[in-house]
Amino acid sequence: MLNIEKVRADFPELSLLINGKRNTFLDTAASAQKPQVVIDSLLETLTRKYANVHRGSYSLSEQLTYEYEQARKQTAEFIKARSPKEIVFTRNATESINLVAATYGRSKLNAGDEILISEAEHHANLIPWQMLAEEKSLKLKVFKINDNGSFNKEAFLSALSDKTKIVAVTAMSNVLGTIFPIEEIAKAAHQAGAKVVVDACQYAVHAPIDVQNWDCDFMAFSGHKIYGPTGIGVMYGKLELLEDMPPYQTGGEMIDTVTYEKTTFAPPPARFEAGTPAIAEAIGMAEALRYVENLGWKNILEYEQDLVEYATNALSTVKGLTQVGTAANKGGVFSFVVDKIHPQDLAFILNQEGVSIRTGHHCAEPLVHRMGYETVARASIGVYSNKEDIDILIKAIDKAKTFF
Ligand SMILES: *Cc1c(COP(=O)(O)O)cnc(C)c1O
């Protein structure tokens, strides 16, 4: 069982007042609050341990290089990768997906090949493929989801063909909360001869990842959404694929030998990490992953499933409120609209009540349009959210309705 009061006490920002009101933070899907252990880790690295990594032959640098590589090892274990060599540190999930498109995509795909994505993708898992398709005369295909936001297996299978070379899908939608069956998608994609790229930016926060079970070829997530620092993300790739890929950016750290005429490149993951990395942030992210593991996935899943059910029921009692994304299998993301109130006005009034939610198209403009809206409000939970947050949200929405 999760001791929610103890968990909440781990996150200092939650105890601040917002507009004189209790901090009701419901925007974890945009970026999560940080536990004290992560803040301490950053402070400790920067005040007592700092030096560049992989370069110095002095003890500060050697020690921090060790910790940076331990962070990679911790990350590999967190997602059940076969080896830390399969973990490339990036800035965020956006950079991770761009990296796959610019290296694997650009070097392996040819004119006429197809890339298949779902209707539910974040712009980060849409635009890199759109650009690549334009550059290399590929075809970007989009398979339909159901109107309630759930995965449409028939639509996926009928869009898949032997021309499909990449299937890029989200494991959990940041707008609808839908959890996609990655194992099943990967199996069908591989049978068709395609590689599978998973955007696990939301999923990673709410459920354990096993990349070997998924059998995905690439996978991306961001440190800041999983209670870690900004500026650090992960690109997982199967080692045999990474070994066969050209570099992303070039410069220091990613080389084997350099002459003025010719450069040979380091093996992965160094090949994909040009320049000085986000050292303190990588170590801080590893601390966040450790924090999640210490809470225990079983406890988190149990706690959040109960809260998702509670929130879904509570929102369904609000007159004039329509939930957007009601798939049976969904995580803690609740998009909605309220009759006669523009989401922006709603968010403004909620903010007066200390409630932070997001509005807009949530970096998934085509998806929000496909669901029939220009803009929606979104409340999202983290491991520190509780029923009181939901109760206050509902009360604030009811209050907002009295103004219109
Ligand atoms: C947030 C998010 C991204 C992008 O993450 P960044 O950290 O902004 O790079 C991609 N996909 C999904 C599903 C997200 O929620």
- CATH number for position 328: 3.90.1150.10
> Is there a single domain that holds both residue 281 and residue 331?
no
> Is the shortest distance between the CB of 358 and ligand 1 below 6 Å?
no
In a domain, 250, yes or no: yes
pLDDT digits (tens, 9 = 90+) for 127-165: 999 999 999 999 999 999 999 999 999 999 999 999 999
Confidence class of residue 3 from pLDDT cuts 50, 70 and 90? very high
Structure tokens at 218: 């690439």
Q: Rounded to the nearest whole angstrom, what is the distance from the C-alpha of residue 97 to the centroid of ligand 1? A: 10
Q: What mean pLDDT comes out for the span 245-262?
A: 91
- Measured from the Cα of 170, ligand 1's closest atom is 13
pLDDT digits (tens, 9 = 90+) for 6-53: 999 999 999 999 999 999 999 999 999 999 999 999 999 999 999 999
> Is the shortest distance between the CB of 197 and ligand 1 below 6 Å?
no
> Is there a single domain that holds both residue 127 and residue 213?
yes
- State percent of the chain over pLDDT 70: 100
List the one residue out of 292, 372, 288 whose CA is nearest residue 325: 372
> Is there a single domain that holds both residue 151 and residue 242?
yes
In a domain, 265, yes or no: yes
Q: Rounded to the nearest whole angstrom, what is the distance from the C-alpha of residue 48 to the centroid of ligand 1? A: 32
> Is there a single domain that holds both residue 211 and residue 287?
yes
> Is the shortest distance between the CB of 174 and ligand 1 below 6 Å?
yes
pTM above 0.85, yes or no: yes
Q: Of 278, 293, 308, which residue constitutes the final position of a domain? A: 293
> Is there a single domain that holds both residue 336 and residue 274?
no
* Rounded alpha-carbon distances, angstroms, from residue 216 to 57, 111, 144, 234, 237: 38, 24, 21, 14, 8
Contacts of 127 (CB under 8 A, 6+ apart): none
pLDDT at 57: 87
pLDDT at 54: 86
Q: Rounded to the nearest whole angstrom, what is the distance from the C-alpha of residue 16 to the centroid of ligand 1? A: 26
- Measured from the Cα of 93, ligand 1's closest atom is 9
> Is the shortest distance between the CB of 170 and ligand 1 below 6 Å?
yes
> Is there a single domain that holds both residue 110 and residue 12?
no
> Is there a single domain that holds both residue 319 and residue 238?
no
Catalytic residue among 168, 363, 383, 393: 363
Select from 91, 201, 209, 227 the residue to mutate for testing ligand 1; criterion: most ligand atoms less than 8 Å from CB: 201
- 195 lies in which domain range? 40-293
Total count of domains within the chain: 2
56 pLDDT higher than 80: no
Select from 174, 221, 230 the residue to mutate for testing ligand 1; criterion: most ligand atoms less than 8 Å from CB: 174
Q: Rounded to the nearest whole angstrom, what is the distance from the C-alpha of residue 371 to the centroid of ligand 1? A: 20
> Is there a single domain that holds both residue 152 and residue 136?
yes
According to the 3-state scheme, what is the secondary structure of the chain? Answer: CCCHHHHHHCCHHHHCEECCEECEECECCCCCCCCHHHHHHHHHHHHHHCCCCCCCCCHHHHHHHHHHHHHHHHHHHHCCCCCHHHEEEECCHHHHHHHHHHHHHHHHCCCCCEEEEECCCCHHHCHHHHHHHHHHCCEEEEECCCCCCCCCHHHHHHHCCCCEEEEEEECECCCCCEECCHHHHHHHHHHCCCEEEEECCCHHHHCCCCHHHHCCCEEEEECHHHCCCCCCEEEEECHHHHHCCCCCCCCCCCEEEECCCCEEECCCCHHHCCCCCCHHHHHHHHHHHHHHHHHCHHHHHHHHHHHHHHHHHHHHCCCCEEEECCCCCECCEEEEEECCECHHHHHHHHHHCCEECEEECCCCHHHHHHCCCCCEEEEECCCCCCHHHHHHHHHHHHHHHCCC
Q: Rounded to the nearest whole angstrom, what is the distance from the C-alpha of residue 47 to the centroid of ligand 1? A: 30
Tokens 């298949």 map to which residue?
116
> Is there a single domain that holds both residue 90 and residue 150?
yes
The C-alpha angle 102, 198, 139, rounded to 5 degrees, equals 55
Packing angle between helix 36-44 and helix 279-295, nearest 10 degrees?
150
Q: Of 250, 268, 293, which residue constitutes the final position of a domain? A: 293
Distance CA(232)–CA(221), nearest Å, equals 9
> Is there a single domain that holds both residue 17 and residue 132?
no
In a domain, 35, yes or no: no
- State percent of the chain over pLDDT 90: 97
Is 201 a catalytic site residue? no
Select from 125, 363, 365, 367 the residue to mutate for testing ligand 1; criterion: most ligand atoms less than 8 Å from CB: 363
Q: Of 230, 264, 293, which residue constitutes the final position of a domain? A: 293
> Is there a single domain that holds both residue 351 and residue 254?
no
pLDDT digits (tens, 9 = 90+) for 318-375: 999 999 999 999 999 999 999 999 999 999 999 999 999 999 999 999 999 999 999 9
In a domain, 346, yes or no: yes
CATH number for position 146:
3.40.640.10
Structure tokens at 210: 């096993």
> Is there a single domain that holds both residue 268 and residue 287?
yes
